[in-house]
Chain A
Amino acid sequence: MGQGSISIRLEAKTPIPLDMEFNCNDGEIFVIVGPSGSGKTTTLRCIAGLYTADTGRIICRGKTWYDSENNINTAIQDRAAGFVYQDYALFPHLTVRENISLPIKEKKISVRNQRTDKYIQLVHLNGLGDRLPHQLSGGQQQRVAVARALARDPDILLLDEPFSSVDQQTRRFLVRELIQLKHQLNIPIIHVTHDLNEARRIADQLCIIQDGTGLQIDAPENVMSRPVSSKVAQLTGHDNIFRGTIISHDQEVLSTSIKWHDKILLAGYSPDFKIDEEVDWVIPPYKILANMETKATNPKENQMTGTITELIQLGEGTIVTIKFDGMIDCLQMNYSTHHIHEHKIKPGNLITVSLIPDGIHMMRHS
């Protein structure tokens, strides 16, 4: 187990399976992304002390909060973890000021007030201290929840889908605020969400979770462009996930050839895979280029001609689905909606595309 400001290893079988191991450093946002019921919130609850895994260890800033081997399980009250709940869980009978001052242990009233003011200012709630939670907007409630979590002077901040109850505009604003807050706080922040775009924006480290298992932990750009398995590729929104067979490696031109149905594709040099090994491979839509005039195919550019079967317009971009003769798999690529209209492209038209070799990412077949 490596060392971060917080090191976590959790294992459980039932009722909620868990198999997670990760570290998070000060000033870092570790984002856990996964579908509903994948174990994201359970992981947070384990760290906070609201749920106990079968086995594992949680060490936060040198303090052992949980160690199944040595029967250590620190009570939730004694874990310096600030928790922001999905529904904020503000105390409805207490004002903003009272909500925020409640976790402050300091007994001297003047110091308590000073610290409460500090957190009210930190989350931009000036002038709202005497309001009750139901008199606030969703975004303001979320800020009270963050301020209350910070008022405990925590060693770690745990955020359970804190932006899920606010509108898109507020969400964008709060995401910006969280990134700013990260630099001010300099404590590890563990954030749970099912929104991949949100995760990509804020994460220093991204963890893809499914069925309680952390499938891949890496920098967001690596997780997105280089998923370790087709499962991760699916969970990170890849549409072009296919299966192929390694044909050859060419050390001179640094390329690896894969057979995809009856076609041979060139990919980046990947000697880790054996010849004849079955692999899963993905290509992001932006690594597929289109040429509307049908040309003779060029194997070096992975050029292929197929038929457009579907066009889905999503504002400025259009998702184009292409089917190739004799193949079940369909390829999806992005194309400018403007060009679609300009060239009067319709389903049934032929299209020639190039699959950029360095965009093809291969994974061990699972």
Chain B
Amino acid sequence: MDWKALELSFSLGFYTCLILIPIGIIIARIIAWHQFPGRNILQALLALPLILPPTVLGFYLLSAMGNRTYMGQWYESTFGTPLVFSFQGILIASIIFNIPFAIQPMQRAFESIPQSIREAAWSCGLSRLTTFLRIELPLAWPGILTSIILTFAHTLGEFGVVLMVGGNIQGETRTIAIAIYDRVQAFDNQNAAIMSATLLGISFLAIAIIYIFYDKLGRYHGSR
């Protein structure tokens, strides 16, 4: 069992959620409640990582982050280390390939809040911020939790993009999914099996939590 890889995967999942969920909430709210030119194009772009082969996404990210690009050069000159084959590099990649997993459940959650509920909050004298904190967030919470779990679980399992952008550097970019691949390549099937079972357990637990939570919430909110 490669504990370092598991820790790195958890760390990657945590930071991905930490950065992506707040941004996702803003984007999901805008898409859910506003009509604007190019809304469907934006939705299509945000959903693209769902169907794009990970290697294609990985290739473009690698091309964009390399030290011959403006972004790569700027990053290296600012932070002193290259972006590709680094934890920060796979974090950016992780944020990008998780966009649909983070945004779509939250978008559906915000869409399910009737406009009249928000208007009622305003006509109760609540500011837009208070309405967001006291009404919208609690009502959208199941969707936000789903986004967090899906993003986290998907980060643990992502292989192609991480390998393309980060390679296989122990303690830096070797996530548990890559560690499994690494162990299989080295004919260490026992460790590969342990890590696969761990990932399977975590994934099952994540999905189970979502279902259990939705069931309980359904009973709580009843006829909403």
Contacts and interface: CB of A to CB of B under 8 A. Distances in A.
Given A81-B123, A102-B134, A89 B221 contact: no
B103 to A, nearest CB: 23
A148 interface: yes
Contacts of A89: 114, 116-117, 119-120
Given A50-B119, A85-B120, A102-B134, A93 B125 contact: no
Nearest to A148: B124
- Interface size class for chain A? 20 to 34
Contact of A134 (B116, B127, B222): B222
B135 A91 contact: yes
A95 B13 CA distance: 36
Contacts of A149: 123
Contacts of A148: 120, 124
Contact of A92 (B122, B127, B139): B139
A93 B123 contact: no
B127 to A, nearest CB: 6
A81 to B, nearest CB: 6
A152 B221 contact: no
Nearest to A85: B116
Interface string B185-221: 0000000000000000000000000000000000011
Interface string A71-112: 000001100011101110111110000000011010000000
Interface residues of B, number: 21
A87 B220 CA distance: 19
B123 A48 contact: yes
A105 B125 contact: yes
Contact of B123 (A83, A132, A135): A83
B111 to A, nearest CB: 15
Main secondary structure of the interface of B (DSSP, over half): helix
B222 A77 contact: no
B132 to A, nearest CB: 13
B114 A103 contact: no
Nearest to A75: B122
B117 A91 contact: yes
Interface in A193-249: none
Given A77-B126, A102-B126, A93 B119 contact: no
B171 interface: no
A76 B123 contact: yes
Given A92-B221, A93-B138, A135-B222, A87 B126 contact: no
Contacts of A91: 117, 120-121, 135, 139
Contacts of B126: 77, 102-103
B78 interface: no
Nearest to B219: A134
Given A89-B114, A93-B139, A132-B222, A77 B125 contact: yes
A152 B114 contact: no
Contacts of A87: 114, 116
Contact of A93 (B122, B221, B223): B221
A-B CB proximity, top 5 nearest: A134-B222, A103-B124, A89-B120, A89-B116, A92-B224
Interface of A: 48-50, 76-77, 81-83, 85-87, 89-93, 102-103, 105, 132, 134-135, 148-149, 151-152
